[in-house]
Structure 1
Amino acid sequence: MARFRSVAIAAAILIALPPHIALAQTAVRTTPADQAAFERRALQLVDLFGGKIAYSAYFDPHFQAAVPEPQFDAFRAGLIAQYGEPVAIDRATAANDRSGTVLLRFERGVATVLLDIGAAADKRVSGLQITGVTVADDSFEKVAAEIAELPGQTGFLVAELDEGTIRPLGSANVDRQFATGSTFKLYILDELAAQVAEGKRRWSDVVPLSHFSFSSAGTANWPAKTPVTLQTLANWMISVSDNGAADTLIHLLGREAIEARMRRAGHSDPSRNIPLLTTVEAFALKGNNFSDLRPAFINGDDAAQRKLLDDNRHRLTLANVDGVSFTAGPRFIDSLEWFASPNDIARLMVDLRARRSKTLLAAMAINNGVGPVAAADWSYLGYKGGSENGVLSMSLLGQRKSDGQWVVVTASWNNSKANVDTGPLIGLVTRLLALAAHAPHAAPAPGTPPAARRP
């Protein structure tokens, strides 16, 4: 089944760490045996990623259940395709009794690996997470070339933000409209924050959970009409990309109000997102159960599309979504989606930051998308991503520690003919973020459109 969801960069790369280990790391005394086990497992990473150690011999049962061997093999193959064969361990640093950080060198990059050793006597690995890969002599040009080689259509923008000015550091296809999946939820967040600032609502307002959808990690199986605060809905919608929270907010704030906010934030082609689909409407119209309505919606103008949604509001519900339709490849990602260009996302980030809402920024920072290592150069890092079959989008808003400069990093990848693999773009976006953290100030590019922000 396709899912409109957030892409958490670090989590999507690979992690299998049970809560009790994460919470108990400092509670157990370090022993020489534990230290030796960490060092031994760290040194084995070269052979593990080189396919010379059996998966079951290296990972404990918990990890094997969380990350099946075919999934790990696909991830390992993706890393090797992008960075070459693993060649050496540059450094292994124990943080406590059974955890630490390992720098694993590949032919074309060095991966930061967080490693956790299980408590069982065999000391197999219970948690492994790659938080980023650095590339020697990296540059925006090198990353741009690799992004361009991905099958399908791609675009990205790395830019410094000063009030309404966007100063590009690196970019490609910045004005092309891409399907972005759940990234559109930032427009909902923007309108919610605007209504709070106008005194129409408060973050602490309690409302009923009124609408349900797929991929709702926060609201799945909750009773209808459960009372929740607006801040809770915003946190769910952004941090875990909860679709039920998003649809509840769309109905509460008003579809047309969010569309107007999108225009004010400077979207260059707002008609692509008008009427703004709820997630369940998008699922329904993409599915086989609504093949009668789909052509009329795709071919209609904004007014006709709005009328179709209104006339069929009692049909376009979760109960009538055909989940079987989404088990294969991309479905209508060029016509039934939420669209934005890299420049549109940059202007949206300007609008979000200009609200000066601590609650808004906090919601975006719950899941910063890259983990603590990649985020170390940033005093603030907010994130929203989106994905479904054939669609991958990642957008970050950060403030550099070195000079306080605000920066946007956004990238999109669409392929209407095949599903896209998260691994390659995740690594490339992480590299863009690292380059942005140390980039010199940029001058505005000739013809760069200013960010638009209106009350």
Structure 2
Amino acid sequence: MMAAPAMAQDKEIAALKAVLAEGPLDQALFSADFLKAVPPSQLEPVLTGIKTTIGPVAAVTHQSGATYLVETATHEMSSDIVLDAAGKIAGLFFRPPVASTATLDDILAEMGAVAPQSAFLVTENGVPLHGKDAGIGLAVGSAFKLGVLKALRDQIAAGGHRWDEVAELTAPDLSLPSGILQSWPVGAPLTLHTLASLMISMSDNTATDVLMRIAGRDAVEAALGIAPALTTRELFVMKVERDLLERYVTGDLGAKRTVLEEVAARPLPDGSKVISPHDPGAEWYISPTALCALIESVADLDVMHINPGVASKTDWAQIAFKGGSEPGVLNLTTAVTARDGTRYCVAASWNDSAPIDEAKATGAYASLLAKLAKG
């Protein structure tokens, strides 16, 4: 008699093969709750894009828990699936497909071709292996939060703060999503460890601004090597207050700091009004070289290991990740440690006046990490 876990795996494998089979979406495969959360109009184009990229499924093998490896003639893709009691799909997650037949040169060329402005760096034990414009600072979105974490860590190491220190959420700290703390009550007590965990794993903007207040803008600027270092709230306000944005972008450092004093008095805008593309000159401009140095300085912290990003947990002994994005901006920065102790960093940034093709970027990035994992 077949063991229950094996029978469950067989059903999950069959469901994955059915979802990725050629042809239109079969809604009967999914639970009603799943289709309510992810309507067919959203689900079908995602699945169509994946199937177009990877081609027909050749094999699906169990890795661990709910995770399976999907293999085709050209790609490998790690996937998570959960079935309900009726055998319907209740949870489904696909990681970026990895081009298993592409050469390293192919992958590096693809990374450079994602957007008109691209910069990346690959290091091994701190030594550069591959790169493109690695010293140029492109806009990196929330990847700047690595500098906030480094400033905080340095102050904790010096005895200025403690991870279990409690900070209260104040009204001026409140920002816009991503994150959850913007919905929490003013006065809510939070440890610095909790704030750092939310800032890194969920890219919580309000948590970030609290920590910037605690660490101080000067310390964050020193960690990042840029000035001014904006809070997330300041960027959101200027996306709506275009007069302030214009003065900030065109002003010298002193003028920029004056503008930020005025920004502090303006209300937090409605989130629906700040979806405009990246405004050149109002962002966090950090090079891949600096990002690798930053992430390696905090890679051992437990808050860096909550969200692995694009890297596969089965490939590495340790993964530290932080990315960032807004329309026209995408960054992925990962520090990984192989099981033999070899350390790699891959930092990549893409900027464009139009939205970045995130599927293309993350696919190439995931393929590069997979190549490094295989040695």
Q: TM-score, normalised by structure 2?
A: 0.90
Distance 1:38 1:256, change over 3 A: closer
Match of 1:394 among 301, 326, 332: 332
CA distance in structure 2 between the aligned counterparts of 1:36 and 1:139, rounded to whole angstroms: 33
Mapping of residues 98-137 of structure 1, within 5 Å: 99=66, 101-105=68-72, 107-120=73-86, 123-137=87-101
SS of structure 2 residue aligned to 1:220: helix
Aligned-pair distance for 1:407?
1.2
CA distance in structure 1 between the aligned counterparts of 2:74 and 2:63, rounded to whole angstroms: 25
Tell me which residue corresponds to 1:200: 160
Aligned-pair distance for 1:80?
4.5
Gaps of 5+ in 1: 1-28, 264-269, 440-455
SS of structure 2 residue aligned to 1:337: coil
CA distance in structure 2 between the aligned counterparts of 1:255 and 1:191, rounded to whole angstroms: 10
CA contact (8 A) 1:46 1:104 kept: no
CA contact (8 A) 2:136 2:288 kept: yes
Distance 1:292 1:247, change over 3 A: same
Match of 1:250 among 212, 216, 220: 212
Residue 239 (1) aligns with residue 201 (2): yes
Pairwise CA RMSD of aligned residues? Answer: 2.4
CA contact (8 A) 1:181 1:337 kept: yes
CA distance in structure 2 between the aligned counterparts of 1:95 and 1:368, rounded to whole angstroms: 16
Residue 438 (1) aligns with residue 361 (2): no
Gaps of 5+ in 2: none
Tell me which residue corresponds to 1:24: none
CA contact (8 A) 1:181 1:386 kept: yes
- Residue-by-residue CA offset, 1:123-158 (whole Å, 9 max, x unaligned): 222222223533334333111121233233222211
CA contact (8 A) 2:68 2:80 kept: yes
Residue 383 (1) aligns with residue 321 (2): yes
Tell me which residue corresponds to 2:239: 286
Match of 2:192 among 225, 230, 234: 230
Aligned-pair distance for 1:280?
0.7
CA contact (8 A) 1:79 1:423 kept: no
Match of 1:326 among 254, 264, 274: 274
Distance 1:258 1:37, change over 3 A: closer
- Residue-by-residue CA offset, 1:81-140 (whole Å, 9 max, x unaligned): 5x35x22331343968xx5625241x53122322222212xx222222223533334333
- Residue-by-residue CA offset, 1:29-59 (whole Å, 9 max, x unaligned): 8289756643432332442xx3x14341222
Distance 1:345 1:33, change over 3 A: closer
Distance 1:133 1:36, change over 3 A: closer
CA distance in structure 2 between the aligned counterparts of 1:438 and 1:384, rounded to whole angstroms: 23
Equivalent pairs, count: 371
Moved more, 361-370 or 136-145: 136-145
CA contact (8 A) 1:104 1:113 kept: no
CA contact (8 A) 1:158 1:432 kept: no
Tell me which residue corresponds to 2:294: 348
Mapping of residues 236-315 of structure 1, within 5 Å: 236-263=198-225, 270=226, 274-287=227-240, 290-315=241-266
Distance 1:153 1:69, change over 3 A: farther
Distance 1:284 1:193, change over 3 A: same
Residue 184 (1) aligns with residue 144 (2): yes
Residue 59 (1) aligns with residue 7 (2): no
CA distance in structure 1 between the aligned counterparts of 2:342 and 2:5, rounded to whole angstroms: 44
CA contact (8 A) 2:67 2:78 kept: no
SS of structure 1 residue aligned to 2:79: strand
Match of 1:75 among 41, 46, 58: 46
Which structure has the higher relative contact order (CA within 8 Å, separation 6+)? Answer: 1
CA distance in structure 1 between the aligned counterparts of 2:287 and 2:45, rounded to whole angstroms: 30
Aligned-pair distance for 1:406?
1.6
Aligned-pair distance for 1:336?
1.0
Aligned-pair distance for 1:70?
3.0
CA contact (8 A) 1:214 1:243 kept: yes
Q: TM-score, normalised by structure 1?
A: 0.75
SS of structure 2 residue aligned to 1:128: strand
CA distance in structure 2 between the aligned counterparts of 1:153 and 1:368, rounded to whole angstroms: 25
CA distance in structure 2 between the aligned counterparts of 1:117 and 1:66, rounded to whole angstroms: 15
Aligned-pair distance for 1:363?
0.7
The alignment-based identity, stated in percent, is: 31
Tell me which residue corresponds to 2:285: 339
CA contact (8 A) 2:337 2:344 kept: yes
CA distance in structure 2 between the aligned counterparts of 1:200 and 1:435, rounded to whole angstroms: 42
Amino acid at match of 1:412: S
Distance 1:114 1:31, change over 3 A: closer
CA contact (8 A) 2:74 2:101 kept: no
Residue 172 (1) aligns with residue 172 (2): no
Distance 1:137 1:298, change over 3 A: same
